[in-house]
Structure 1
Amino acid sequence: MSESPTPPPRPSVLGRGSYPEALRIGEILRKETVGGILLVAAAVIALIWANSPVSESYFALRDFTFGYEPWHLELSLGAWAADGLLAIFFFLVGLELKREFVAGDLRDISKSIVPVAAAVGGVIVPAIIYAVINLTSPETLRGWAIPTATDIAFAVAVLAIIGSHLPSALRIFLLTLAVVDDLIAITIIAVFYSTDLQFTPMLLALIPLALYIFLAQKFRFFFGTKNAAAWLILLPLGLITWGLVHASGIHATVAGVLLGFAIPVIRSQKAGGPDAGPGLSEIFEHRFRPISAGVAVPIFAFFSAGVAVDGWDGFVSALTDPVAVGIIVALVLGKPVGILGTTWLVTRVTKATLDKSLKWIDIFGVSLLAGIGFTVSLLVAELSFGLGSPHDEHAKVGILAASLIAAILASTVLVTRNKKYKAAEESDAVDSDHDGIPDVYQQGN
């Protein structure tokens, strides 16, 4: 009697990926750790100042306006931070997303389907939960998109504080989740939160944007290895594009994503061959990430997180507003349900299994961490209800409370796994042949 054939092995998902990708992600997250600590510090300072005896000076500073009105650029400091500085943050979102899908591990559909699907689930479920809680109030229903995004800087800062040795696969998963749902959030902003559209500046914006794209793609041909020339030409074109997009009524951060998408991520081999130096994407990422993480996002957090709660009664009143309730439930419950549920569903449909180095409790911990919605959530709250309005203030209380709860819950789960992560990290670092590449990456495990 012949033996039955051995069934083929089931594919695994969320493996460690390639070594260059692990190094790159590790470097990005190290920078974001510093930025996350600055972000949290800026938010705490804003909260203390906004509830101090000199709170009027905080709001006077936030609402101080300057700029050139004929160009629709007479804005408050808070608006400059939201429309201007966050454009740098979203420029990096565009750069990172393109880098992942063009040259990173996620160009392989089998590797990208799980984190991308999980990010989509982590957007849809929180939005539905918020909408259900606020279904009877058209005024508050407008904030349905507030709990859709994950703040990677804040999340990584939490990892740094708890000393987590999160495996490379989970770090890549977390970063991809954050980048993809930030992209979804900016798409939502462009579609649902653009008001009083002006078609003349919108069409005019296409001219500098097209020139920017053309010169960026032909970077080596026009600029050779002189990076300063690229800055002197591309940066002004980017600023003009940003100004025209802002004047058109589309939120100006959308321009940041478009400009990031325009940058090539693969080095040109026509100008100097393999010794031509870093590509434009690498140059811009290296230069702009410290500005974004260390300056732009913390300043935005400082001007957006300051909310006066008027004592304990005011705090309780804010937390009982359906806006805050919807945000807290959506981020703390909806995010992990959406991410974990979608990840499980994809593995079932594709008949795949988690990589042998991971367990479902690890995905659960990361999905809880993804419930830290801060930077983009604060931005969407302002767009939904207007800076300084009662619902905006209550939304901020909800965002801060939800982010804190999510951080505590995620820390509790991940700390219990930290010993396992540390052992895996030490094992993954073994390089028995001393060639600079850990053995596990050469074995294809």
Structure 2
Amino acid sequence: MNIRKLLLPVLPAMALLFPLPSFSAGTELDINRMSLPDAVTLLWTEVLKTPFMLAPELVNDPRAVTLHISPDIDEREFITRYLGNMNIRISRKKGVDYIYSHTPAAPEEPLKSLVYTPRYRTVEYLHQALSGLGQLPAAQQPVQGANGEQTWQAVSSGTRFISASGDVFVFRGTAREVELVRQLLPQIDVRAQEVSVAGYVFEVQTSERNGSGLALAAELLSGRFSITMSSASGLDNFIRLSTGSVDAMYELFRTDSRFQVVSSPRLRVISGKEAVFSVGSDVPVLSSVSWQDKVPVQSVEYRSSGAIFRVKPTVTQDVIGLDIVQQLSNFAKTDTGVNNTPTLIKREVSTSVSLNDGDIIVLGGLAENKTSKARTGLSFLPDVFGSDSDERAKTDIIVVLQARRV
């Protein structure tokens, strides 16, 4: 007897008596603490019965899934909403569901404003100081990552604002940023330190036999003051004194006819700002020539000459830094090139030094050599009875400065 023919009519009856598990619309399903990858596999193979692809970042996701599907709900809408709460999206393309994680858009935190009237510093200074701290920390919110860990994401910056000029300082940012700026402003808006700079600029006439002007100054000072050379090997370009005053040094140098005072600047300046002391004149100098309707038009600019002294102090807790520029200049007639504009002849020394409060520094290193011819003999005698000689003269510029905190 053919057994197959006997079983065929029996199978439908067995299906009615012992139904196999089936998940379709109107089915009730419970999932309790099942891993996310396993839960997705079960839902798509047995409930939605749709081809799917699980993104690689979710394959090892440790988050557990617990849900209950009742017969009276739409399974796809319920599953989509549940996974959406876990920052997981579902995209359908050509009959296949693509399941992947996503980061939701960060909500914009309400911005607050801070208006501050400076007490000592300018708005420009406050803006520069706060900008120098780097970008102010943005507000952040916790976001659950793909693997279940908690991460932090910056909230949108919106319309943050920090004023750079004006009479009042205005800042707009998140509540946390406003509080941070509010705490920093009293520490930044403090009275700026001031420095009093006093000095003398001497022109020293020397010869090859006498050495440099700085060497002559050291010789005069060593008998009355304790001096420190700029290098262990001897004189370099400055001498440091920890006692005395510039006026006392002036009285000492004036006893030597080789020292002539060129200028005596007295300046009081805020730390970080530049002060200028100038004695001389502004000379018109031809800068350019343009043509309009075949007519030359000359442009003239005024350039300063004379004794020009620039100093920029920077005060720190222990020392005073000085950026110094000393220039002696004059204009002479131009014999070559552009004959209708004068030539600027200048001697300039530029340096940066660090001093203790009240220290005196003597700067040198700016020299000019001149050679002149001299003839000896009696004028009524022939030239053969006379002699010619070259006389070499050397002019040094030395700067004596003292800086004190005010």
Larger radius of gyration: 2
Task: Indicate the structure with greater helix content.
Answer: 1
Task: Indicate the structure with greater strand content.
Answer: 2
Q: Which has the higher contact order (CA 8 A, sep 6+)?
A: 1
If the TM-score is normalised by the length of the shorter chain, which range does it land in?
A: under 0.3
- Provide TM-score, normalisation by structure 2: 0.19
- Provide TM-score, normalisation by structure 1: 0.18
